[in-house]
Amino acid sequence: KPDGTDPDPYVKLYLLPDPQKTSKRKTKAARRTCNPTYNEMLVYDKIPRGDLQQRTIHLRVLSEGAFWENTLLGETIIQLKDLTPGHRWVGWNQLGTRGSDINR
Per-residue model confidence as pLDDT tens digits over 14-66: 999 998 889 999 999 999 999 998 888 888 888 887 888 899 999 999 998 87
Domains of the chain in start order, with CATH, are 9-82 (2.60.40.150)
**Using CA atoms, how far apart are residues 26 and 72, in angstroms rounded to an integer?**
14
What is the pLDDT at residue 24? 95
What is the pLDDT at residue 98? 67
Contact 76, 96 (CB under 8 A): yes
For residue 77, give the DSSP letter.
E
In this predicted structure, the answer to whether residue 91 has a pLDDT above a threshold of 80 is no
In this predicted structure, the answer to whether residue 87 has a pLDDT above a threshold of 70 is yes
